[in-house]
Amino acid sequence: MDYMKFFSKKGDVRIHFNIYDIILNFLILSIATFSSVKIIVWSFFEANWSVVSKNLALFTFGSYPYHDRWRPSIWIIYLLILCFFTIFNKETKKKRRPLVFAWGLFVPTGLFLVCGGLGKYPIPISYLGGLSLTIMLTSCSLLFSFPFGIFLALCRQSELFLVRNISKLYIDFMRSFPLITVLFFGQLLIPLFLPNGVEVNRVARAVFAFTIFLSAYIAEDFRCGLQSIPVSQIEAGKVLGFNDFQITSLIVLPQAFTIALPALTNQVIGLFQNTSLMSILGLAELLGISRSLLANPEFIGSYLEVYIWLGLIYWLFCTIIAMLGRYFEYQLDYDGNNR
């Protein structure tokens, strides 16, 4: 087989079969057919999906108060609409402004709604569970770790010895821990450091732990972007009279962001999946809620159904994140590499 032609985008596809190819194709096809028939038969006739269908609300909201479930519902619908409009938006720069604004309001709106805004009583955020908690953990951690990561990356490039090395030390230190230990630190050790009477809820502590961990990685992704900006760009900025802050914010960072974008998308997907680690530490996010469901005698033994369902949800959201990343790559593609 002429692999180069087979894989090239525009070259004409010419496949010459020989006997080995035929055997290989037959093998692959039969395995694929066999397993898909198996899966279809299992999922339609053998599987007991009641564990999923009876608990859809639980998967989405966790133990959030019944009468207030419209709050996270609105928030999740808001997110899905935003994603839809962003991914399928073909507008020019100016018309994109409302979209950017809507994204900026996403986390504040969520916190306001979920914590009982517009209602009579505040609702503790720790009531949140399932998908809405997963989204809350992901979005809040991102909101904090992006600015902090960029700040770290800039400090790491600093000419000041102390600033540069403290940031270097922090990044290397954070990267040398497994995420789970940082999360443990957030859940178990932070309360010890706080003065008596001050209590920070578990969700905020988790967000804190994710933020300090993730920002080290985001800083390194940004460093890669920063280092690939040629000195001549900075010189051009100097010559036009920009000060250091303007050069960084108007010239260097936008270009660095474009270069770091594929790696950053990776981090976001990773974060979304890593929130499932919180189930070990007692938060009832998607995986946590599933584990508690499986412990319920009514649904005992439905492992496969629950985990396949879980896999589908994670797959759906990670695909959305990947599509968003690709959309931004396309929008920011000023060199025409992806067109």
Partner 1 sequence: MTFMKNIINVVNLSKSYSAGIKALDDISLDVGKGEVLVVMGPSGSGKSTLIRTFNGLESFDTGYLEILGIRLDPNGDEKNIREIRKRVGMVFQQFNLFPHLSILENITLAPIKVQKRQKIEAQEHALSLLSNMGILSHANKYPSQLSGGEQQRVAIARSLALKPDLLLFDEPTSALDPERVNEVLDAMRDLAKKGMAMVVVTHEVGFAKEVADRVLFMDAGRVIEISKPNIFFQNAKEERSRRFLNQIIK
> Least distance to partner 1 from the beta carbon of 82, Å?
24
Tokens of 57: 């609300």
> Least distance to partner 1 from the beta carbon of 53, Å?
49
> Least distance to partner 1 from the beta carbon of 265, Å?
18
Rank residues 21 and 235 by Cβ distance to partner 1 and give the closer one. Answer: 235
Tell me phi and psi for residue 285, to 5 degrees.
-80, -170
Residue numbers at the binding site for partner 1 (CB under 8 A): 232-233, 235-236, 238-243, 246, 250-251, 254-255, 258, 332, 334-336
> Least distance to partner 1 from the beta carbon of 246, Å?
6
The residues with which 130 forms a beta bridge, in sequence order, are 285
Residues 6+ apart with CB under 8 A from 113: 71, 72, 74, 75
> Least distance to partner 1 from the beta carbon of 90, Å?
17
203 touches 133 (CB < 8 A): yes
Rank residues 12 and 159 by Cβ distance to partner 1 and give the closer one. Answer: 159
Tokens of 289: 């809620």
d(CA 65, CA 149): 36
What is the CA 248 to chain-centroid distance, rounded?
26
End-to-end CA distance of the chain: 29
Place of tokens 């609409």: 81
Rank residues 62 and 225 by Cβ distance to partner 1 and give the closer one. Answer: 225
Rank residues 125 and 256 by Cβ distance to partner 1 and give the closer one. Answer: 256
Rank residues 122 and 336 by Cβ distance to partner 1 and give the closer one. Answer: 336
